[in-house]
Amino acid sequence: MSPPDVTIVVPTLGRPSLGALLASLAESDGPLPRRILLVDDRRRRDQPLLSGGIPARLADRLQVLPGRAAGPAAARNAGWQAADTGWVAFLDDDVVVDRGWLRRLAGDLAAAAGDVAGVQGRLTVPKPTGRAPTDWERNVAGLERAVWATADLAYRLHVLGRLGGFDERFPRAYREDADLGLRVTGSGWRIVRGTRRVTHPVRPAGPWISVRLQAGNADDALMRAKHGPRWRQRAGVPAGRRPRHLAITAALLAGLAGLVTGQRPLAKLGLATWAAGTAELAWARIAPGPRNAAEVVTMLVTSAALPVAAAGHWLRGWLRVAALRGAGRPGAVLFDRDGTLVVDHPYNSDPARVQPMPGARAALDRLRAAGVPTAVVSNQSGVARGLLTMAQVQAVNQRVEDLLGPLGPWLVCAHGTGDGCACRKPAPGLIHRAAALLGVEPRQCVLIGDIGSDMEAARAAGARAVLVPTPVTRPEEIAAAPAVAPDLERAIDLVLEGRA
């Protein structure tokens, strides 16, 4: 039996649980995937990644890729960008697959309809026996209800390429999967539940784990900035207690201010409100738990620190968002294709003729490293004229990505000059659609192109623009451009420095 058209990607820090995952894959029924890619995301690699070795059944399929130690989003990007299969199945290194997982994975992918971009596995967290779960165990158990969790989620490779994969501005395993899910479903694709199952054991954690987890509030600020105030409802994420945390922290600050300034009524009111809020939080965490001495003490102590940590990280996240906006950094960079990313061969239908513009790969890699999403907006009137087909356009586009890496959504206008459409540049339609897919406003975008119609489209959409002239660019187009750069790398300098 030929292997299914899927690559398994596992970002890992080399935890002991990785060995258990690989052992479960080796013992699972069903055909092995084409490849299993372990992305070694450790900062130091002076010790073996796998102390117990590789299971014999996986030996000829498993490959280790070096990560950048930049977090799970970057590690997963490194994995899928190295894949050459139709599907990429992501697994966390602390899950264990069931005995039929490989067989069910193949069935899930084979059953996926054409509009399905992702198939999520079903996750089980073992419950403790003979006692109620602790606060940490209940936290991990929430993964069973998580939507789009990449603990076990397979995506079509070309969808990842079109959307640019995971946003590397999310530095921890927290919201990067929800962000991608929102972009996928916002692009018209579906993500469905499959039949395969994994188990996620509760790993040991220190007493301050709940406080450390509040760092995710900074990521929530980025989620709101990208996807708007209703992102939680769209992503199936519970509302949480942040409003209460902010109120408790404000009461504490008011009480301390009253003490410092000698305003005793303010001090009493603020500190009393803080104490009541802290007590309510502690009891909400203690009541469903085992209520033993260690758990009760941990909940009391951490409940005093937790709201302040949540509020501080929330503020830090918004300061980071404001700094990015204040620096003029764009929400997204949009590229024209012919004459900008690749040499312009008019009405090109042959992927073999694709030739990147000088410095294009280096310029794009800088944007990826900076976490700036990208898209391509391209007029292809040759389709309307009968000179090439959309299938040929897509084949050329795929070759562009093969050479330059993932570019995010491709927005193509196949109309002719006389069709009166709203998408053909210099009309703004392609820019509006690209911005919507990327979850940003058109005014947050920068369009980089080589002719005047690119600049006019940006102006009509309210976006910024940079002209990178070629020999076909007319002098009057250069004179009218809002910003001009001699090449793509200089154009990216203008973008990242906020001077576009």
Distance CA 353, CA 331 (A): 32
Q: How far apart are CA 25 and CA 103, in angstroms?
A: 11
Distance between CA 24 and CA 20 in Å, rounded? 6
- Annotated catalytic residues are 336, 338
Q: Please report the DSSP string for 415-447 in residue order.
A: --TTS--SSSTTSSHHHHHHHHHHTS-GGGEEE
Q: What angle do CA 49, 55, 60 make, to 5 degrees?
A: 90
| DSSP state string for 346-397 | TT---GGG--BPTTHHHHHHHHHHTT--EEEEEE-TTTTTTSS-HHHHHHHH
Q: Spell out the alpha helix ranges (H) of 28-125.
A: 72-81, 101-110
Cβ-Cβ contacts under 8 Å for 305 (sequence gap 6 or more): 208, 211
> What are the distances in angstroms from CA 230 to CA 191, 239, 347, 443?
19, 10, 42, 21
CA–CA distance, 254 with 252 (Å, rounded to integer): 5
